[in-house]
A and B are shown apart, each in its own frame.
Chain A
Amino acid sequence: MAITKSDIEHLCGLSKLNLDDDEIPIYLQQMTDILEMIEQLQSADTDEIIPMAHPLDMHQRLREDTVIDTNDRDIYQKNSLNAEEGFYKVPKVIE
């Protein structure tokens, strides 16, 4: 499947990435090469095969519903350049 410039733009929209105008043709070429390589998968016979999401055949362990109370907010918020009064701040969202 040939990937187009508008595909790249759409994917950037979904993944919140910006590419400069002069970068796009490069990415487009590289993506084309990558997708061509990936296309090899189509020749594998996978009828009746169950997809594998984990290498080990295990089931989810369940955790007891106990609260471990750590309020380290002030330590954590040292990492955020824009925290105020305990809130994280982002550009205004219009709903």
Chain B
Amino acid sequence: MERFTVKAIQNMLSNKQINSAELFDLYSSRITDYDQTFNAFITNDVEPNVEYITDDKNQESPSDSALTGIPYAAKDIFCTQGIRTTCGSKMLEDFIPPYDATVIKNLKKQGAVLLGKTNMDEFAMGSSNETSYFGSVHNPWDIERTPGGSSGGSAAAVAAGLAPIALGTDTGGSIRQPAAFTGITGLKPTYGRCSRYGMVAFASSLDQAGILALSAEDTAIFLESMAGFDPLDSTSVEESVPQYSQYLEENIRGKIIGLPKEFFDGSLASPYETLIAESIDSYKKLGIVFKEISLPNIGYSVPTYYVVAPAECSSNLARYDGVRFGYRSQNIEDLDEFYRTNRQIGFGEEVKRRIITGTYVLSAGYYDAYYLKAQKVRQLINQDFERAFESVDIILGPTTQTSAFKLGEKVDDPVSMYMNDIYTISSNLAGLPAISHPIGFVEGLPYGLQLIAPHFKEHHLLSLTHQYQKVTDWHQITPKLSMSSESNN
């Protein structure tokens, strides 16, 4: 099945090889025909949410807006007006938001059209898309394996060609890790770059909306329209949005990339180490200079995250009580029992686990030792990055320890699941932008590499990735779709 990039689609539309309605139908049909294999979508029978698409297949598409005619999928954590938004949870199984998230509004304004809402770990808590109430997502490269999480549905959809591009969210790696597991490009922008209004909160100081795409070029095209200051979000930054696509060809020769020794401590198995080394060579050939750096406190990332994120989520999820929206048991007469039953039935195990953890670390007697301590360690990690960026432009590391693991392999061992995030979490803690792009295969499964930049320097991440993607083709290799009789690649 041919995967079209956004760039290619724009060309097809402007060359009138296809019009928006036909394009929308093409992807809708793919989803209908193939998604049973992957379960990447929770809601996929949506009507086009832009006015210019009509039933008249002969109508030409207006070409005035930046993303006119471009179909995209959105992780089911973004509120979409009139379209069910579940966050992968029974709690919101029937929830229909009366409003659009700001990033959805921004994309609508530029003419992009929503294909459907993708599957995700429940309330974005997970690294394998196995905690979804709507069933696990299957990796298009091997359906017995996870696509990663929590934006597993978005990653699988893009990797399988069911959507050209998709929105995800990244709180501890939930865009980058699935991108790495499915062989696509995933960007987490700087904290505050994209509005969080309408993006259901998991951990407010870590969550960021981002993009899963087939290339850096596509990512740049979408980010231009998605990003920007939002007065409805107090944590949104009044920093102007660059024309990211203009930066793709910027001169990267002489840029210095730091290699944290803590990321290269020999713990990666050698096939993965080899792929990283080869990519470093590719970058060197592009004129990049490498330097060893140290992020001494980076080892504390996972414990820090697993104090801060659950703490914030335990509070953010208190609003799900069945009173104004959400799952509600009938015939309960005691208020306490009412709350408890709604939440027992509405939430899955991982969510409950994190709520309990979060409640614990905030509770009287433990606040100082856990929450306050974690926020201090967070500062240490932030300072490590600040110091590092004084001597390097970008930091490079693996995205994950391995390629995609098998479904069911880690569900009973939360801590082992949490360790998946070891390379990605620190950039969320420091609010830094980071991207993952494919760098090859190990035993037929994709593997990715991560670049981290200082605040608001997404354009360097995009230019580096773009120029790497000009001299390599890992990002263009398409998975065989088992249901398809078409061959590909």
Inter-subunit contact B379/A15 (CB<8 Å):
no
Known interface pairs A3-B360, A15-B314. Does A52 touch B237 (Cβ–Cβ under 8 Å)? Answer: no
B37 touches A (CB below 8 Å): no
Q: Quick one: which of A52-85 are within 8 Å of B by CB? A: 52-56, 58, 60-61, 63, 72, 75-76, 78-82
B169 CB → nearest A CB, Å: 16
Of all chain A residues, the one with the shortest Cβ separation from B361 is A38
B131 CB → nearest A CB, Å: 14
B304 touches A (CB below 8 Å): yes
A46, B376: Cα distance in complex, Å: 6
Instruction: Kindly list chain B residues whose C-beta atoms are within 8 Å of the C-beta of A12.
Output: 340, 356
Known interface pairs A11-B360, A79-B325, A82-B328. Does A37 touch B375 (Cβ–Cβ under 8 Å)? Answer: no
Of all chain B residues, the one with the shortest Cβ separation from A77 is B324
Known interface pairs A18-B341, A38-B306. Does A75 touch B98 (Cβ–Cβ under 8 Å)? Answer: yes
Of all chain A residues, the one with the shortest Cβ separation from B360 is A11
B430 touches A (CB below 8 Å): yes
Inter-subunit contact B455/A56 (CB<8 Å):
yes
B303 CB → nearest A CB, Å: 5
Inter-subunit contact B343/A16 (CB<8 Å):
yes
Instruction: Kindly list chain B residues whose C-beta atoms are within 8 Å of the C-beta of A38.
Output: 303, 306-307, 361, 370
Inter-subunit contact B353/A27 (CB<8 Å):
yes
- Interface of B, secondary structure class, is helix
Inter-subunit contact B324/A19 (CB<8 Å):
no
B415 touches A (CB below 8 Å): yes
Inter-subunit contact A63/B231 (CB<8 Å):
yes
Q: Which residue of A11, A34, A53 has the most chain B CB atoms within 10 A of its CB atom?
A: A34
Instruction: Kindly list chain B residues whose C-beta atoms are within 8 Å of the C-beta of A37.
Output: 302-303, 306, 415, 418
Inter-subunit contact B356/A91 (CB<8 Å):
no
User: 6 tightest A-B contacts by CB?
Assistant: A55-B431, A51-B375, A46-B376, A18-B344, A79-B325, A16-B339
- List 17 interface pairs A-B (beta carbons < 8 Å), by A numbering: A15-B356, A27-B353, A30-B414, A37-B303, A37-B415, A38-B307, A38-B370, A41-B307, A41-B373, A44-B373, A46-B379, A51-B378, A54-B431, A55-B429, A80-B323, A91-B337, A92-B333
